[in-house]
Every structure is written in C-alpha cells, then in structure tokens.
Amino acid sequence: MNADTQQKLLLWYRKHRRDLPWRRTSDPYKIWVSEIMLQQTTVETVIPYYEKFLKRFPTVASLAVAPEDEVIRFWSGLGYYSRARNLHQAAQRVMEKFHGELPSRAEDLIKLPGIGRYTAGAIGSIAFGKRTPILDGNVVRVLSRFFTLVNDPKSTEGQKIFWQKAEEVLPKTGRKKDFGDFNQALMELGATVCLPEKPLCLMCPVSSFCRAYQKGDAAAFPKMKKKVAYRDVIMSAVLIEKEGKLLLVQRPAKGLLRGMWELPMVEGDSRELIKHWQVKLVKQLPSVRHSVLNRRLVITPFVGSLQGELATIKSQWIFPDEIKNVPTSSMNRKLINRFIASKL
C-alpha cells in the first residue's frame, strides 16, 4: 500500500469515524478497558457497560483494589467473564510491577493477563503512538480482500501471513497519532463499509487498491473454514420464593462462570431438576433461549419450593429487582425477568 492510499484511508477515517466514548480519550487505561470489552462483543452492547464500569473504576488503582465479586458484578451481562478476571488481575500487576502506569511497550503489555498480540498492538498504537500492527476480525476481512488472501486466517500459516500484511500496510513513518488512527481506520472500514456479506464497495475510499473488488469477488473473502456446529442443550431451572425473595446458589470456584450466582438449575428436564435439588415444582413458565459459546440452551423455568437441605452449597436470598447488584449471567437475568413477568 503506497503513501497516497494510506493517506486516503486516514482522511476518510478522520472525516467519517463514529463518535465512540473511547475515541474521546487518550487515557491508556480507558483505551485498555475498551479493547478488552470489545473482544467478542459488539460496539453497541459495550458502550453502556464501558461507561458504567469506568464510573465505578475510573483508574487502574481503583480497579486493582476492588474485590473480584464487585468487578464481575459491573461486568455482568457482557459475558466471557474471564475477560473481567484477567483485567482485574492485570490491573493488580500494573500496580505492583509498573507503579500504576500501563506500560507502553508491546513486549510488556503482552505479559499482562488477558492481553494478546492484537490488544497489545491496539493499546500500543492508539494510546502510545507506537508503530504496532493489529489484527481483529474486521482487519482480517479488509486485508483478505485487499490482497485476495486464500489462507484460513485462523490457521497457523494464515495468522503468520495476515500479521505480515497488517504490518506491511501500516505507514512506515508519520506522527504518533497516525499509527493509532490508521489501525482504527482499518477496523472502522471493516465495521462500516467492508461488511461480511454485502460489502459496500462503492463507498470504500480505497477500492482502487482492493484486488477482490477489481475481480468483482469481494464477498467471497475471507476464506474461512466452516464454523463449529452448535450443540442444543436442554436445561431446567427452579425459582424458589420466600418472603418475596428468590434463592440463588453460587457456582463452583472452577469452570465456566466460576463463582457467579444463579438459580438452581440442571442440564436435563424437570425430573433431573427434582432429583438434583430436592424441590417440588408447582408451575412451569415459558422457556428461555440463550447461546453460550458453541451451545444453544433452551432453559425451562419452574416455580417451586425446597423439600430438602442445600447441604454445603453457598446460597443467598435476594429480591428480584436486586439482581443487578449480584454477579450473575444475562441468562439468569432473563429467567428472573420471565418470573417477574409471570406475576404481573
């Protein structure tokens, strides 16, 4: 990519970029938080969580000293909770090893929990003006079409080639701001113009550089392997009410959603629910659908009562409208909202 094409893309970005909260700051910490939240999550979903999270944890120090449960609570609803735990641990390490200042070197950033090569490149270029390439899903799509790359971007060989191209297109020289802006321009192009199924090639500022566009075959790239098929899972949950409060139990300290609070539930039907939790079911509510990783869950909620003891399982009783104050998943929020709706 020559300097003229790079300049076209930069000018387009500065004129047409979306007004996003993390683009209004130069604070490395806030940029870091945004990059972690944007992993696996759409911009529209992230914005309110980002603003709420930073209101509660405005600095690295405030995040580092917070209890993990509270960090998870402010993350609740975003999913992929290991991101929150890694962010929390990384903040503690920044306080211990870097005197509370996020390091600017990619080799230091990448040693922090939850920061891989892409996130290190994004923080390095956007927050510190470093010439570090980035490679996310949007950039992969743009580069695959620019160069008609036929490699699977998730393969080892594909990763090597795509990172090489990401470095090649990045301006060799320029103001510090140019490197971060150029990386964001690639992402913005992929997010708003170079779309997955129906790319808006006539709106692209650099279509003359794009080999796939010249071939009239942009939508055929990137060449991805078929996605892993979803597995359907049947689950059952029970809502046990006492004096207006609902029973929640805590998940194990290891595994998926570790340490979070949820309704008593099982994989299986009502018979498994009764057997596992020793409950009496009195009413069935409409099912809730929810996707987690490669699983499509269909959860049937029941209203019921305890017939036995909870043994050593950690539990608590909360009012339904207090669920926002508890570290729990969006799936549990859906179930509790279904229960609230049934009482209206």
Tens digit of each residue's pLDDT (9 = 90 or more) over 103-153: 999 999 999 999 999 999 999 999 999 999 999 999 999 999 999 999 999
End-to-end Cα, the chain, rounded Å = 61
Report whether 66 contacts 140 (CB < 8 A): no
Domains of the chain: 3-220 (1.10.340.30), 231-342 (3.90.79.10)
Give percent of the chain with pLDDT exceeding 90: 76
- Rounded to 10°, the helix 176-192/117-128 angle is 120
Among the ranges given (25-29, 88-92, 252-256, 283-287), the one the predictor scored with the smallest mean pLDDT: 252-256
Q: What is the mean pLDDT of the chain?
A: 92
The mean pLDDT value for 152-162 works out to 93
Q: What is the pLDDT of residue 344?
A: 65
Report whether 188 contacts 17 (CB < 8 A): yes
Report whether 317 contacts 326 (CB < 8 A): no
d(CA 177, CA 179) in angstroms, rounded, equals 6
Q: What is the pLDDT of residue 293?
A: 76
Q: What is the pLDDT of residue 269?
A: 92
| Neighbouring residues of 11: CB distance < 8 A, sequence distance ≥ 6 | 205
DSSP SS3 for 214? helix
Of residues 35, 68, 96, 157, which has the active-site annotation?
Answer: 35
- Say whether 35 is catalytic: yes
Report whether 200 contacts 147 (CB < 8 A): no
Tens digit of each residue's pLDDT (9 = 90 or more) over 20-46: 999 999 999 999 999 999 998 999 999
d(CA 284, CA 287) in angstroms, rounded, equals 9
